[in-house]
């Protein structure tokens, strides 16, 4: 008789925004219940995760790492080196799949902190993972087998859509596009709201009009095969209102502004990775 395979023990180091989003995502899909452990220096039963999801907790990173099949480094980049050094010897013995969420910390650096021979995946999620509507780019080092890639994918697919990066450098570009992207969208919404209010619309109505416009437009882009340029052509009748608005954007060279903005974010991602 075939013995049932025990589900992987997933350990999160850090109990902040990203851990909360991922754990909630996993629970929403009923994946591997009872097999999640969260380690953080001040975690207790009052933590929202303990209230909402059945997770085991510890304040000791080593205790957590000793049980990990998949270990997710979900602490801020500033504390990552000391966290990684503290669990290095346990990880060397156990060799779990390590997934780092830390922006800008290269695999080469992670290897210098954790030691060789550990399969490492880097991920760049964005904030909508908190609503299970995230965009997550993943990059795997050469130690990561296709089976481990599958495990990383099933974890992140609970909170969004996944794109595998072909190179680690691509993650810096992803950071500037989809990582920072929600910020650009909020800026556009803010500007559209202000323009609506300037013309006399109340704040609540301006919020509703702009939010639903972004949602609906994104759904149109996601649901069909038309490019954004084709979709724009569809809503622009010659001599109409949309065309008048778009001409004003084009006079201000809005595409150049976006190119410069994303270029600046990318350069900043490179600087932070130094």
Ligand X SMILES: NC(=O)c1ccc[n+]([C@@H]2O[C@H](COP(=O)([O-])OP(=O)(O)OC[C@H]3O[C@@H](n4cnc5c(N)ncnc54)[C@H](OP(=O)(O)O)[C@@H]3O)[C@@H](O)[C@H]2O)c1
- Closest Cα partner for 249 from 230, 232, 227? 232
In the complex, minimum distance from the CB of residue 166 to ligand X, in angstroms, rounded to a whole number = 20
In the bound state, the residue with its beta carbon closest to ligand X is: 16
Query: 185 and 128 in contact (C-beta within 8 Å)?
Result: no
Who's near 58: CB < 8 A, 6+ residues apart?
Answer: 37, 38, 39, 43, 64
Residue nearer to ligand X on the CB measure, 17 or 112:
17
In the complex, minimum distance from the CB of residue 134 to ligand X, in angstroms, rounded to a whole number = 9
- Pairing mode, if any, of strands 97-100 and 70-73? parallel
Query: Which element (helix H / strand E) includes 121?
Result: strand 120-124
Contacts with ligand X by CB under 6 A lie at 13-19, 39-42, 61, 74-77, 79, 83, 101-103, 125, 127, 179
| Helix/strand/coil for 123 | strand
In the complex, minimum distance from the CB of residue 272 to ligand X, in angstroms, rounded to a whole number = 10
Residue nearer to ligand X on the CB measure, 76 or 252:
76
**In the structure encoding, which two tokens stand for residue 55, read together?**
């997770």
- Pairing mode, if any, of strands 160-164 and 134-140? parallel
Residue nearer to ligand X on the CB measure, 35 or 61:
61
In the complex, minimum distance from the CB of residue 146 to ligand X, in angstroms, rounded to a whole number = 25
Residue nearer to ligand X on the CB measure, 127 or 152:
127
* Alpha carbons 238 and 75: distance in angstroms, whole number: 52
In the complex, minimum distance from the CB of residue 197 to ligand X, in angstroms, rounded to a whole number = 28
Residue 123 burial class via C-beta count within 10 angstroms: exposed 0-12, middle 13-18, buried 19 and up:
buried
Residue nearer to ligand X on the CB measure, 123 or 210:
123
In the complex, minimum distance from the CB of residue 265 to ligand X, in angstroms, rounded to a whole number = 13
In the complex, minimum distance from the CB of residue 143 to ligand X, in angstroms, rounded to a whole number = 21
Residue nearer to ligand X on the CB measure, 71 or 206:
71
Residue nearer to ligand X on the CB measure, 77 or 243:
77
* Alpha carbons 267 and 165: distance in angstroms, whole number: 18
Who's near 123: CB < 8 A, 6+ residues apart?
Answer: 99, 100, 101, 136, 137, 138, 139, 152, 156
Size of the chain, expressed as the number of residues it contains: 274
For tokens 């304040």, name the residue: 59
């Amino acid at each position: 008789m075939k013995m049932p395979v025990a589900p992987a023990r997933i350990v999160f180091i850090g109990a902040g925004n990203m851990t909360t989003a991922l754990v909630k995502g996993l629970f929403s899909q009923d994946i591997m219940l009872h097999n999640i452990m969260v380690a953080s220096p001040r975690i207790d039963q009052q933590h929202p995760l303990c209230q909402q999801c059945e997770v085991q907790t510890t304040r000791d990173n080593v205790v957590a790492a000793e049980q990990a099949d998949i270990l997710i480094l979900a602490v801020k980049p500033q504390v990552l080196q000391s966290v990684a050094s503290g669990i290095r010897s346990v990880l060397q013995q156990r060799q779990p799949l390590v997934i780092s969420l830390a922006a800008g910390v290269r695999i080469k650096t992670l290897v210098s902190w954790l030691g060789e021979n550990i399969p490492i995946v880097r991920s760049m999620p964005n904030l909508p993972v908190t609503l299970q509507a995230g965009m997550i780019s993943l990059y795997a080092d050469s130690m990561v087998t296709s089976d481990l890639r599958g495990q990383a994918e099933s974890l992140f697919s609970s909170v969004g859509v996944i794109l595998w990066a072909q190179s680690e450098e691509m993650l810096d570009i992803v950071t500037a596009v989809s990582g920072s992207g929600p910020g650009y969208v909020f800026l556009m919404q803010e500007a559209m709201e202000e323009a609506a209010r300037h013309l006399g619309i109340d704040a609540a109505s301006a919020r509703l009009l702009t939010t639903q416009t972004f949602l609906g437009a994104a759904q149109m882009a996601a649901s069909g095969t038309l490019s954004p340029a084709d979709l724009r052509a569809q809503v622009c009748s010659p001599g109409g209102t949309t065309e008048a608005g778009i001409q004003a954007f084009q006079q201000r060279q809005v595409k150049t502004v976006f190119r410069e903005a994303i270029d600046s974010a990318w350069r900043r991602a490179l600087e932070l990775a130094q």
